[in-house]
Structure 1
Amino acid sequence: MILRSTIDRIFETARVEEVIGEFVVLKKAGSNFKGLSPFTDEKSPSFMVSPVKQIWKDFSTGKGGNSVSFLMEHEHYTYPEALRWLAKKYNIEIEEAEQSSEEKAQMNERESMFMVSTFAKDYFHEIMLNTNKGKAIGLSYFKERGFTDETIKKFELGYCFDEWDNFTNAALKKGYDLKFLASTGLTIVKENKQFDRFKGRVMFPIHSMSGRILGFGGRILTADKKAAKYLNSPESDIYHKSKILYGLYQAKKEIAKQDNCFLVEGYTDVISFNQSGVENVVASSGTALTPDQIRLINRLTKNITVLFDGDAAGIRASIRGIDLILEQGMNVKVVQFPDGEDPDSFAKSNSNAELAAYLENSAQDFINFKVSLLLKDSNNDPIKKAGVIRDIVTSISKIPDGIQREVYVQECSRIMDISERVLFSELAQLLKKGLQEKSKSSRQQNTPQLNPNEIPPEFAIGQEQTKMGLVKGGAVTNQKIDQLSILENEIIKILLLYGNEEVEFTEEVIHVDDAGKEKIDTRKYENTVSAEIYVHLHEDEIEFSNVLFQEIYTEIIHQLNQLEKLDIDGLINHKNSEISTIVTSILMEKENPNRQLSNWEGQNIEVKSALEVLAKDVNDVVYNLRRVLIGEKIDELMSEAVSNQGSPIDLEVIRNYTSLKMRLFEKLNRVV
């Protein structure tokens, strides 16, 4: 267990903008930073980072928190893992108490798979560098490919002995469970025997964007025609081939810096380019390019340059990938290598300067690439030329931005010597067809979607909110928002922002004169906001329906009423990430880019400040909370009366509650 003193030091040192900047391209926006959400596929940035408050908020999903919560959300780290990542980044030595056997037993399966994968990476790397067989077979292969010691270390390359169970036995001796060796695919288990999946192969560890080992690629070194040349880890809880890009961990900083990403096919293409000084390069690892892979790049840059082999297979792959990239709103260029060359061989046969010059001078936009490629086969045949034009317009139709579509139509018109009117007509038909297909698909799914802009993000109906208890019973009824949760959230908001403010309140005092008539007097008094709210809720014995809100409320009241100081950082950095998310959502509410602001000043309308109406806001939220609770109590009594047929209804109690509710309506100036 990491000691509290170390945790405090990590939180004091870590800068949220630096941490998130490792994964998201952030741009200055006033005193804050903004960028595209790393959790959704969005076109307009709604992800905000506040260096002053040291918090972040993703307004498209409602998620938010501090540096630790970001790593937990984005990289699926546990709380201790996120702390260790930050400690490593900022060179902080971790002091910890020894884990108990119970704590070790609590390690979940996913984390155990990561541990096994990390051990495998270290083991394969170590035996290649420090054993005779490893040096003679594995290391010599990489040296023959021209890879330097520095490159081999950077990509943590390795070798698996050509023996049935050498790695498996080594892992078992170290205490790793065979269950996780099998679930990661490192070991194949059959009946009463097990053997190494990657035996006799050189190893390419595959990292996540943050550097965690997700899986491996292994290349065979023998001429066995029955065995696959390259073998990847099987799909698992931590390895999804279609959602991974090889080399992204090593390339992410340079991609953001160069504002461009080179996309290649294989592991050695990435490694050779890196060694040649081109570090902003990733590989699809031999798979057909997927939208998930493109979205990974989209977090770092809007520009992709596709590099494919000069053979027919590479050309077909590049054509398939172009439309997918355009659909994601990315800018795409293509570099085609000479026949017989691939990125790996070309990088080895040319100097660093020659490679850089070729990449710059040979890059074409997708229209010129398709024209130069497809017209070769048309032989001036009008039918085939029409097919080329239709193919290009189909690609243009994939672009979500209307202005870009029009520019590309004009470019196609110029290159292909055809009128823009004809091209726009064809484009309109394709767009209409696409809309019809989407509409049809939507009707078939028949899944009504709740517009997240219609309600505050923290109350958007979803998995996180259901888990937090914001939606009663985990279900949505007629898309109604839980009124109690909204009011409880408002109380927390007022306490966080103004809890220690001293405000003048007005109290109504009811007197009964000698004639028995009620007389209402008012008196003014000063009190802190936290004390006023506490008195109201305490005298009515009100507890929050949301357990997280209750925990936050209890902590705030304790700090403000007992310590007379609110530790905002302690709540932001709370060990419960859900509490951190709620607090962050409230503090970042004003930064919401979708928040509609009224231009009252421009209309010469005077608007009172938040402090001027603070007393009214406190009274309103307390009275409304009472009103809702009383309404629920009346409903409960009526429901009991209906279910207990024959039992007398206590009408006096219901009348008293109704009278209280009417009085609250009067206080709130509500029309009944």
Structure 2
Amino acid sequence: VKHTKCYMVEGYTDVISLHQAGIENVVSSSGTSLTENQISLVKRFTDNLTILYDGDDAGIKASFRGIDMILEQGMNVKVVLFPEGEDPDSFARKMSKSELKDFISENEQDFISFKTSLLLQDAQNDPVKRAGLVSNIVASIAIIPDAITRSMYIRDCSSLLHVKEDALYAETNKRIFKKRDDTRKREFSKVRQEINLKQSTALPGFIDDVFAEVNEKELISLLLNFGDHELYSETDEASFTAHSITVAENITSEILNDELEFKSLIYRQIFEDYITSIKNGEVLESKYFINHQEDKIRKLAADVLSENYKMSTIWEKDGKKIEATETRLKEIVPKTINTYKLKILNQAIKDNETQIKSVGNDIEKITKLIERKMALIEARKELIDLTGGRAIF
């Protein structure tokens, strides 16, 4: 018989008793904390997992972290709570096969709703505890990869907790963005080590002296015109779920991860507004800046948006038909970012050469500066390749 779900219990005696009662699609966690390997083994056969708990509340709460790991892999988790003093083994011995199956079927509930109800009993009318409860539930919802499933849980929790759906969505999106941002930072750290930029203490210092107004304006123009457009999607290898990445998310992530900073105060303000909105789970639209409280930002937004950035499907250049900016974002956005970084690297190399000339015969200092220069040149070489072989000096 092919089953569409798997039951999980704590001990082997529970497995044996349930098997004897006719429930064969059951596994044991062996009384230990769940591991990713155990979850992966179950997921190979089914995405539906029902956990059978005894009546020990403390034990149930201790297992919450393991259940979150299951949710993170995109599995559907349900819970059956046995009567107080009973566990799957003892209960199966007391009941007939049909009674046991009926009990499990009638008392099965999804894990998020179960967790909400259980924690709600402890929080009662204490506002601090209820706030902590909301945060706890949102943490579990945020790790679910499927957006539709998340929205359904948010709707149910809104009803149970008497909290507006908008607030739950905002908090959930904030956590999702933080997780993505942390992942990108880890990935960037690996890349940075590979090109030896991490060992170069010169680059951050040089950045302070570089004013790339033209390049900064190009990035701001992309943000204002296309910030809320999807640039690409990332697929979670564990859940095979795609996550949309906007132009604004990509640009802000690249700039922050490289620890760069706009020198133009007005551009910096716009950039920081985007960062704040993304952390709140939103992406600003251009109309926000058109109606901005700062006069200078309103004027800049109007000027940038009127500079014919959003062109028709094609436009003419040197007699050739070229695709419009909006249809070439996957090419234009990374190239604009890398061109900006390239200008900063070029200035860093020039300043490094000046330092080498100024240290005289100090071999130790010269050696360190040359090592930095080689790392910067290697980084520049990679950026030139990424910008289509176009050097910028």
| TM-score category, normalised to shorter length | 0.3 to 0.5
Larger-gyration structure (1/2): 1
Q: What is the TM-score with the length of structure 2 in the denominator?
A: 0.47
Decide which structure has greater helix share.
Answer: 2
Q: What is the TM-score with the length of structure 1 in the denominator?
A: 0.28
Higher relative contact order (CA 8 A, sep 6+): 2
